[in-house]
Structure 1
Amino acid sequence: MARSSFFQASTLLSSFLALANAQSSYPSATPTTSAQPVFTIPASADEGADVLPNILDPQAVNAQDVCPGYKASQFKEDERGVTAILSLAGAPCNVYGNDIESLNLKVEYQSKDRLAVNIRPTYLDASNSSHWIVPEHLIPRPQQEDSNEDLDLQFTWGNEPSFWFTVTRKSSGDVIFTTKGTHLVYEDQFVEFVNSLPEDYNLYGLGERIHGLKLNNNFTATIYAADVGDPIDRNIYGSHPFYLETRYFEAGSGKYKKPLKESDLNQRNFNFGSKRSGKGSPYESASHGVYYRNTHGMDVKLSPTNLTWRTLGGEIDLFFFDGPTQHEVTKQYQKSAVGLPAMQSYWTLGFHQCRWGYRSWAETKEIVETMRAFDIPMETIWLDIDYMDKYRDFTLDPVHFSPSDAVDFFKWLHGNNQHFVPIVDAAIYIPNPQNPSDAYAPYTRGNESGVFMTNPDGSQYIGAVWPGYTVFPDWMSTNGVSWWVKEMVEWFKEVPYSGFWVDMTEVSSFCVGSCGTGNVTLNPAHPPFQLPGEVGNIIYDYPEAFNVTNATEAASASAAASSQNAAKSTATSSSTSTVYLRTTPTPGVRNVNHPPYVIDHVQGDLAVHAVSPNATHANGMQEYEVHNIWGHQIINATYQGLLSIFPGKRPFIIGRSTFAGSGKWAGHWGGDNASKWYYMYFSIPQALSFSLFGIPMFGVDTCGFNGNTDAELCSRWMQLSAFFPFYRNHNVLSAIPQEPFRWASVAEASRTATHIRYSLLPYMYTLFHQAHTTGSTVMRALAWEFPNDPQLAAVDTQFLLGPNILVTPVLEPLVDTVKGVFPGIIDGETWFDWYTGERVNAEAGVNTTISAPLGHIPVYIRGGAVLPLQEPGYTTTESRRNPWGLVVALSREGEASGELYVDDGESLEPGEVLDVSFKACDGVLKVDVKGEYKDTNALGNVTVHGVYGGVGDVRLNGKEVGKEKVVYEQAKGVLRISGLNGLTEGGAWKEGWSLSWT
């Protein structure tokens, strides 16, 4: 969590304090008792210069108007690509930096589905190469492949009015990227190029931010890692300069001449039948992807007909992925460019419980026991910074989380087949040199090894985070990674964790610059703001409908808010016009702290709440060049640490700041959201975006992190998150506890949803294996799975888990119905209700009203699917010992298919596996088994949806199954076959078999 978001949260008003004191089931909101610092860092330490984003600055110069662009010469082309020299086409403009007069252009036909365009300065030496070139050992660059297949993407160029280039699909003539009619601007602190797009384009990605799935066409997507509590539409933790674009065309028109505009469609209620003759959608689509391999801060300005790319430096290193479907684009991007997602251990797919506010091993154990008492499955308990000694990494609070008590706690927890994950922050405490008792071994060992970032003058860069003044690991130093690994290994001897949760990794600092220089004798210091739970800093906010659903508490909240607002109204304020800092280029000098071009960064000044851009790495690079990958690098270091602790097993990491490729090591959570209905909604497009980015292990703080949830919101959210890959409940110290057992209705809703989730774990695990081996997605947007329906282009209130589970959650309060579309019906798809097995009666392209009383989340199975299930246990370990089951959902043609992947659930490179395939046709289900992994669990039951017109004898491998084991609900078309355990002794997948019901 970015606990720094309490700057915002602490201003919210209500009566929580009185409420918490009145309810003994809520622990009191008090900070960790071991943290009682004397000196508080002044708030002014985190105040930067007043800067105005270029896109909002009325004085800003449009580089396209004043810069001359470049002319290409010395053009050479062969079967592997193109090279040329680009020379400045006129007088330098030096608008936001110093113009580079000569550039190298290199175009590579890298593979059958990937084209690369690279532009960098002609002259590079050791003194300036790091300004431009991203080292390949940090962010691997896709390489040219030997391929006999022709690339469908074609590169063309021209010199009028200045150099431009176009990328076109040869097969269709569709121009997917062109800079024609614009100027290339290439300066030492500013690079700009513009590519045209069709009207009403469908663009996804360019994260991380809280935004709808489809990006607006009048919007600036800023990419700069920021420690900030989930503002809407602004840059937050991750940096993913990748987008997917989808274009829709009239079906059967041959080459793609003109993509459809939004005005061509009657959104939501378009009658497909009116524009088609015969069966099927009247439209088809084509998708492609673009990856900009650049680690600098950037603005991507989305205008109605183009994108303007503006970075604070670096080379232009573009990669185009041909697609032409979303599935193929994502696979091409992950497999060849950034790496395939990590395979998750089976246990990580269970439910995780966390809270900032568990105050001891005893209380933590009580939470685990209470979850079991309420029969709410829980796999993993997490701890926030409460467990630390004065908020220092790799320590335990000696009073409340003593090492001696830890021994008994972990023996008990692991004995129940449950897991533990602690939070670990990015910054390392620097001890007070005048206080021998303040010694801190991780710092001492790191300092002796030279692993911390420095100031430009070589002195140690000292910022401030939770424990006070801190230093920051330099992952480019010789010993940085090995030091971190050793600290993890040593701490594991005391705290036998199962995975790592790395936080504050943007990298965050609570002051501008090296504020700790000369101040270390003040350590331990208090952060420059109140911590949650301290006097006067309680979280007071409640969900939007709280006053209706929780009238008593709401009345108390209103009274408290009124009294505090009255007190605030007596204060006076004055306003003055802001004088903004604007800098101009200086020849031979880069102003890295305040570059002339100001990106639309959520914090304004780049050094606010972050390590400053001039912080220096061992190889001479500055944070200015690589700020966006600090979080990516600590994830890599943590991955190496977990491999050392668990040799041969899959590391489990949840990280906050990510970059392109972080998914090959870790998952991600959505950061510091709030207990608001709109944050529950935004969790869906955020998760879908991370599917594109190659980080499928994604979830959010269920029920909300900041503010107080209530029973209705938490009930709906617990059920929604049960269908996310990463499923965790977590909230802030000073809000009311929100474990699902706190309300009877939430407990029941959680049990129902978790039962479904745990039943589906074999299906989810198979999806993860497919993602890990092919780059496919786990959570999917409807538009990606049904690419011929333009009405689905912006749908992000529903989603698919894999190809076959459709989830339509309630995302607003005080309702008992929800509207949802059933995709693909125009093309003959059919859907079945998860709970009843009945076929859904819905029209193509029409929102259907679905009953959804509190406690019920609508879930549907796609016709044509065979779903492998397993009887759920309390933990994933228990679940894996239970009988198997199958749900066969027949298509309208009476067919279905599916897959199951089974291994030991934890090995990095499993020696033995099972690949099971299912095929149903003509009333017979056939199962084919390949592999040597031994699974001895029997098959318990098979349920078949879509069986109409009666059934005959049910036979397994030709042997009749007793009639007492068969129930046929003809009106619903559901055939249920149970009690198969005795017929499949030795294991359901011991060998292939067939089941017939005709």
Structure 2
Amino acid sequence: MRQPLLLVLFTVLAHQCAVEASVDQSPRQRPAPGGQANAGGRGGSTNTDAGSAAPAKPSAPAAEQQWRTYLHTREGLAKEGLIDGSSSPSGATVSRLRLSKNVLPEYGASFERLTVEATPETPTRLHIKVFPTDSKRWEVPESIVPRPQPQPGLLSSSLTYDFSTQHEQHDGRGADAFAIKVSRRSNGAPLFDTTGSRFVFKDQYIELTTKLPKTADVMGLGQMILPGTSVILPRDGTPITLWNRDLPGALAEPYANLYGSHPFYLQANRDGFSHGVLFLSSNGMDVLLNETSLTYKVIGGLVDLYIFTGPSPEEVIAQYQQVIGTPGMPPFWALGNHQARWGYSNVNVVEQVVKNFSRAGVPLEAVWLDIDHMSNRFQTLTLDSHRFPLPKMRALVDKMNAAGQQWVPIHDAGISKMPGYKAYDEGNAAGIWIRDYKGQPYVGQVWPGEVVWPDYVGNANTSAWLTEQVANFYKQAPFGGLWMDMSEPINFCTGISCQADPTNKQAMFWLTADTPKDFNVTSFIRPRTTCQLKCEQAAATNKLANPPYAIHNYDMSTKTRQLRLEQELVSVTARHSDGTLRYNAHNLHGAAMAQQHYRAFVAATGKRPFNVVRSTFPGSGRWAGHWTGDNRASWRSLAESVAQTLTPSMWGISMVGPDICGFVDTALATAETQGFKGSFSTKTKADAVLDDKGYEQLCNRWTSAGAFYPFSRNHYTFFARPHEPYRWPAVAAAARKAYGLRYQLLSYLYSSLYLAHSRGGTLARPLMFLDPSDMAARSADSQWVLGEALMISPVLHPDATTVKKHFPKGNWYSAWDYIKTEVPKAKARKLDIPLGDVAVHYRGGAIIPTQRYANITRDVRYSPVTLIVTLPLEVSAPAKDNKTLQGVAPYANEEACAAVHAANAGRLVSCGLLYADSDTVEVNNNNTVQVWYTAITSPDRKQGGLSGATKANAGEAARKLRIEAVHILGVPAAAKTPGGAAAAAPGTAKAPAKHAAAAPAPAAPVKAAPAGRAAPAKEAPAKAAPAARAVTAKAASSKGRPAAAKAARAAARKEAAAAAAAPVAATASVNGQAVAAAYDGKTGVLRITGLKDVIVGAPFALRWKI
């Protein structure tokens, strides 16, 4: 009888001297060794150990021994003599090992006893924890990242990994080493291997190194300014620092740490196998990657590792999200087009913006308002009585809501410390503020002047307070979500304790000045970014503000990486209500804020919100989307936007996107004038200041690309040239075209979001996710895929119209005119993409729901559906071979699709999901519509069937959707060539792939709005059409007869075109009833129309034949 795996515990003894200070404590933490840290520059001190026990005395050195791998069974440990006769309550084995050396004494003393827990939790997930045996340590609270439980009854035979621990003593030649090794069971490849490297565990310094293959590609760690445009991280040994900062990307240098901290990486090996590793820690850290290793240097907490075996990249991400939480489901309207500006100065300006979008025929789903709308001294969740008077604002909101539009207010992290401000007074009464080392509310400075910060991590009263504030503001002018800014949280001052100085008249003027009715940004905003408070600084001996190991924190002013840990942040010596130090919890602030605001919105309104947050941490995507921060109106920022979108998608944040056309404009003002400390980079041509013509071209290209970001929003600052798309006729035309297609694909995008939400995964993903063995796809940094089947290929460089784009293996169909590009082997192809256009392709093997265009998502949501069936390049393989690392067919990992593939080896299989709901807060099978559509086509592509398997059909969305048409792409002509082979339809393998100016509608192409229509984009002509190539291969290869070969190819092309143009009989039926079917031999498209009363979710069986 097989037994479930036991949790294995290993205890490691290490030499330790007395610890001077401990930073890791709190009621939820593992107690750290005792000690004190000087908290003030004037001799003040604060106890940081929360009464934990003193360190144990050092142990005697262990006996010398060679490398040894310990078997993970009680019998194996007993044989090695390592069992001490005890076991944990769960029945796990305990062993004790000894290490004798103390390394890096400059970083403090090492712990004496370490416990290692290795827990197989699922067949593809291993959890490893290392912590001091006799001390409590800070770890990420489960209230922020709930930990999943091990799979019940897990058997050793089901694991996809093997793991072991090793203990080495260097016989006086260096530090003793304790190592962990995890390998892939199928091929023995290492997944996490610390052998041969030092392992250090101190109070404020943990070092752990794993080996990396030289040829592997690593991605995911961040958030930082990438040194290039690829999601693949460089391996040059430069530290990647995880410490959340408000750092405008427009001013930062490569590797500068930004708003979020994500200690997760995905490793893609050359053999196509991928795996992932999460080091779950909220403490500051550096991560160093070089050609052979990855090293963590962490300044607190414990080692909390999760290893995910994949083996495909998408599976790694899904497994990762089973730990941190899958992406939240946004409301349907979140997929529309959004507009924002810091500088919409009053309600009349906002109303005019809405009108201008309508007049230009450009979709507008929501207007996002920055701090302009706030009342005196920028009191969050309020309306200014002069600039945004409630009656006018409410009238505008009601009008927008009636039209199906929303507004979203910004909500800053700091709360104005102004007596009489309701939110402040009620928060004071509830005692919800973060507190300084003296136990008083920690005071800082942001836009309002003096501010305090709610405790979102450790105060139970914060939730009720926040719900009340959201509810009160919602009643005034209902909004669709919250825009959480400054959430690192940024502080314009630095100090362990700050307060206003009444003797400093100039400072008091700026701290107490009322906001002018029509304030000038330069004269009013700029002085408020300079600290006006009197702040007590931390002493040099303060180990919280100045830890022994200094992570490489980026300094925007000097462009160096030596900034103090608490510079312009809430002090690391401050505490939460449960005793948690900000030193430990700083990186959690944005995630905790997002969680609390989601719950507050739901509690206050009963609706599902669309919130976004700037500062993120693993799990943030459950509660909010993310915009990537203060980018720049430059070609470099546009090129960087692809990786900036795809990397957060790997972190579990589906709704992500950069500011379209750039937040900061370098032409009108210097960085200093705009309120930034630092200067704009001008190192490259891509950073150059653009003239008005260049600015328009940039915005044109960015609009075409940005229409296919998951979160698509145009946003800019006071000091930027206006760049709403309606400002230029050509840009408006580009917007109408790109968003015209996006809005027809809303249900496809929404269905893809549901898959990521329900089982984990990505909406936006790199091309290499489609085929991990495609090495060229890994460097395709100007393209991305949405869901399983939509490839986006924009132009990201100035004055370019012909560009090379990578096509993974398979059939690819232009979304604009259905022309097929057949790619037997992955390769780059030249595409002609005129200004105002973007290349979009459907992937073969998918079923994609499209709907009639409307300029509001509400009017698209339940409109009639056309199912686009894209025939794949190859037939399905036998079940055992169908899922490989050389490319997985669309949806082949989904149960419904996998079953159809398995049962139809030798046939062409296409799959897709149509999901619908009514924006209920929770989604389940009792309030959603979920139908899996599968198409099975004969190998000759001349006949097939399409059916739906209904998984759920309930709630308000049930029976609202109907299918009006089916388009089958990739059907060949029935005529024969002179050589007897079937004539390929024009546009098949290696023929031009065109991208016409209008997306196809359910029954016929929809014309784009007439103003400024862009010319079609098309693939640059290939050397020869495929039909001719097939017929005249011998002639073409014959020496001495090039003219004859050329003539033969031309004749074959002409004959094939004529045959394809000839009428071809086509028949189709739905549920046994004949329906109209028309075959277009020029495009290889079969259009089946006239479907009546075919309700989505009802029985559906289509048969067709040509």
Q: Calculate the TM-score normalised by the size of structure 1.
A: 0.79
Judging changes above 3 Å, is the alpha-carbon distance between structure 1 residues 85 and 506 closer, same or farther for their aligned structure 2 residues? farther
Higher mean C-alpha deviation, range 726-735 or range 911-920 = 911-920
Question: What whole-Å deviation, never above 9, does each CA across 1:521-576 have from its counterpart, x for those lacking one?
Answer: 96673699x998426999xxxxxxxxxxxxxxxxxxxxxxxxxxxxxxxxxxxxxx
Please list, as runs of the form range in 1=range in 2, the aligned pairs for 1:689-728 lying within 5 A after superposition.
689-707=647-665, 710-728=695-713
Q: How far off is 1:820 after superposition?
A: 0.7
Asked if 1 retains the 8 angstrom alpha-carbon contact of 2:69 and 2:165, the reply is no
Residue type of the partner of 1:654?
Answer: V
- Answering whether residue 307 of structure 2 is matched by residue 320 of structure 1, we say yes
Judging changes above 3 Å, is the alpha-carbon distance between structure 1 residues 536 and 657 closer, same or farther for their aligned structure 2 residues? closer
Asked if 2 retains the 8 angstrom alpha-carbon contact of 1:104 and 1:119, the reply is yes
Q: Which of residues 134, 140, 148 in structure 2 aligns to 1:134?
A: 140
- State the match for 1:975 in structure 2: 1086
The alignment partner of 1:404 has SS state of helix
- Answering whether residue 585 of structure 2 is matched by residue 626 of structure 1, we say yes
Judging changes above 3 Å, is the alpha-carbon distance between structure 1 residues 157 and 929 closer, same or farther for their aligned structure 2 residues? closer
Q: How far off is 1:937 after superposition?
A: 4.2
Whichever of the two has the greater Rg, that structure is 2
Asked if 2 retains the 8 angstrom alpha-carbon contact of 1:113 and 1:332, the reply is yes
The alignment partner of 1:307 has SS state of strand
Please list, as runs of the form range in 1=range in 2, the aligned pairs for 1:381-460 lying within 5 A after superposition.
381-389=367-375, 390-431=377-418, 439-460=420-441
- State the match for 1:616 in structure 2: 575
- Answering whether residue 501 of structure 2 is matched by residue 519 of structure 1, we say yes
Distance 2:512 2:813 in 1: 54
Q: CA RMSD in A?
A: 2.8
Distance 2:652 2:756 in 1: 9
Distance 1:976 1:239 in 2: 49
Distance 1:959 1:88 in 2: 78
Distance 1:678 1:600 in 2: 24
Higher mean C-alpha deviation, range 913-922 or range 668-677 = 913-922
- State the match for 2:953 in structure 1: 932
- Answering whether residue 548 of structure 2 is matched by residue 596 of structure 1, we say yes
- Answering whether residue 473 of structure 2 is matched by residue 491 of structure 1, we say yes
Q: Which of residues 893, 911, 918 in structure 2 aligns to 1:897?
A: 911
Q: Which of residues 1063, 1068, 1076 in structure 2 aligns to 1:955?
A: 1068
Q: Which of residues 500, 509, 512 in structure 1 aligns to 2:491?
A: 509
- Answering whether residue 258 of structure 2 is matched by residue 236 of structure 1, we say yes
Question: What whole-Å deviation, never above 9, does each CA across 1:331-367 have from its counterpart, x for those lacking one?
Answer: 11111x1011111111111111111111112211111
- State the match for 2:288 in structure 1: 301
Judging changes above 3 Å, is the alpha-carbon distance between structure 1 residues 809 and 69 closer, same or farther for their aligned structure 2 residues? farther
Residue type of the partner of 2:659?
Answer: D
Q: Which of residues 100, 119, 132 in structure 2 aligns to 1:89?
A: 100
- Answering whether residue 177 of structure 2 is matched by residue 178 of structure 1, we say no
- State the match for 1:28 in structure 2: none
Asked if 1 retains the 8 angstrom alpha-carbon contact of 2:495 and 2:538, the reply is no
Distance 1:135 1:918 in 2: 41
- State the match for 2:818 in structure 1: 837
The alignment partner of 1:455 has SS state of coil
Q: How far off is 1:985 after superposition?
A: 2.9
Distance 1:582 1:102 in 2: 32
Residue type of the partner of 1:685?
Answer: A
- State the match for 1:668 in structure 2: 626
Distance 2:709 2:178 in 1: 46
Asked if 2 retains the 8 angstrom alpha-carbon contact of 1:924 and 1:997, the reply is yes
Distance 2:501 2:73 in 1: 61
Question: What whole-Å deviation, never above 9, does each CA across 1:863-895 have from its counterpart, x for those lacking one?
Answer: 122111111211111112422112222123554
Question: What whole-Å deviation, never above 9, does each CA across 1:717-769 have from its counterpart, x for those lacking one?
Answer: 11112112111111101212111100111100000000110111111111011
Distance 1:736 1:527 in 2: 31
Asked if 2 retains the 8 angstrom alpha-carbon contact of 1:451 and 1:474, the reply is yes
Asked if 2 retains the 8 angstrom alpha-carbon contact of 1:201 and 1:217, the reply is no
Q: How far off is 1:988 after superposition?
A: 5.0
Residue type of the partner of 1:383?
Answer: L
Asked if 1 retains the 8 angstrom alpha-carbon contact of 2:327 and 2:653, the reply is yes
Q: Which of residues 597, 617, 623 in structure 2 aligns to 1:638?
A: 597
Question: What whole-Å deviation, never above 9, does each CA across 1:376-396 have from its counterpart, x for those lacking one?
Answer: 111111101100012111211
The alignment partner of 1:237 has SS state of strand
- State the match for 2:154 in structure 1: 148
Residue type of the partner of 1:945?
Answer: L
- State the match for 1:678 in structure 2: 636
The alignment partner of 1:507 has SS state of coil
Q: Calculate the TM-score normalised by the size of structure 2.
A: 0.72
Q: How far off is 1:582 after superposition?
A: 14
| Structure possessing the higher relative contact order (Cα contacts under 8 Å, 6 or more residues apart) | 1
- Answering whether residue 241 of structure 2 is matched by residue 227 of structure 1, we say no
Distance 1:657 1:501 in 2: 11
- State the match for 1:606 in structure 2: 565
- State the match for 1:101 in structure 2: 112
Identity %: 32
The alignment partner of 1:847 has SS state of strand
Distance 2:477 2:359 in 1: 26
Q: Which of residues 922, 927, 937 in structure 2 aligns to 1:912?
A: 927
Judging changes above 3 Å, is the alpha-carbon distance between structure 1 residues 995 and 391 closer, same or farther for their aligned structure 2 residues? farther
Q: How far off is 1:326 after superposition?
A: 1.1
Distance 1:702 1:482 in 2: 36
Asked if 2 retains the 8 angstrom alpha-carbon contact of 1:463 and 1:514, the reply is no
Point out where structure 2 has 5 or more consecutive residues left out of the alignment. 1-60, 75-90, 171-176, 527-536, 556-562, 668-689, 876-907, 975-1063
- State the match for 1:534 in structure 2: 522
Judging changes above 3 Å, is the alpha-carbon distance between structure 1 residues 745 and 144 closer, same or farther for their aligned structure 2 residues? same
Judging changes above 3 Å, is the alpha-carbon distance between structure 1 residues 286 and 385 closer, same or farther for their aligned structure 2 residues? same
Question: What whole-Å deviation, never above 9, does each CA across 1:23-72 have from its counterpart, x for those lacking one?
Answer: xxxxxxxxxxxxxxxxxxxxxxxxxxxxxxxxxxxxxxxxxxxx999999
Question: What whole-Å deviation, never above 9, does each CA across 1:892-923 have from its counterpart, x for those lacking one?
Answer: 35542222112224442353322223233132
Judging changes above 3 Å, is the alpha-carbon distance between structure 1 residues 182 and 881 closer, same or farther for their aligned structure 2 residues? closer
Question: What whole-Å deviation, never above 9, does each CA across 1:255-279 have from its counterpart, x for those lacking one?
Answer: xxxxxxxxxxxxxxxxxxxxxxxxx
Higher mean C-alpha deviation, range 518-527 or range 833-842 = 518-527
The alignment partner of 1:236 has SS state of strand
Q: Which of residues 797, 803, 818 in structure 1 aligns to 2:782?
A: 797
Q: How far off is 1:465 after superposition?
A: 0.4
Residue type of the partner of 2:1084?
Answer: G
Asked if 1 retains the 8 angstrom alpha-carbon contact of 2:326 and 2:761, the reply is no
Paired positions, count: 827
Distance 1:70 1:217 in 2: 36
- State the match for 1:275 in structure 2: none
- State the match for 1:551 in structure 2: none
- Answering whether residue 206 of structure 2 is matched by residue 191 of structure 1, we say yes
The alignment partner of 1:365 has SS state of helix
- State the match for 2:167 in structure 1: 159
Question: What whole-Å deviation, never above 9, does each CA across 1:224-270 have from its counterpart, x for those lacking one?
Answer: 11111013432101111011101123xxxxxxxxxxxxxxxxxxxxx
The alignment partner of 2:328 has SS state of coil
Residue type of the partner of 1:355?
Answer: R
Q: Which of residues 360, 366, 376 in structure 2 aligns to 1:380?
A: 366
Residue type of the partner of 1:95?
Answer: E
- Answering whether residue 964 of structure 2 is matched by residue 850 of structure 1, we say no
Distance 1:74 1:89 in 2: 19
Distance 2:554 2:780 in 1: 27
Asked if 2 retains the 8 angstrom alpha-carbon contact of 1:887 and 1:942, the reply is yes
Residue type of the partner of 1:759?
Answer: Q
Asked if 2 retains the 8 angstrom alpha-carbon contact of 1:76 and 1:84, the reply is no
Q: How far off is 1:221 after superposition?
A: 1.3
- Answering whether residue 463 of structure 2 is matched by residue 350 of structure 1, we say no
Distance 2:109 2:305 in 1: 22
Q: Which of residues 220, 226, 234 in structure 2 aligns to 1:205?
A: 220
Q: How far off is 1:818 after superposition?
A: 1.6
The alignment partner of 1:460 has SS state of coil
The alignment partner of 1:487 has SS state of helix
Q: How far off is 1:418 after superposition?
A: 0.8
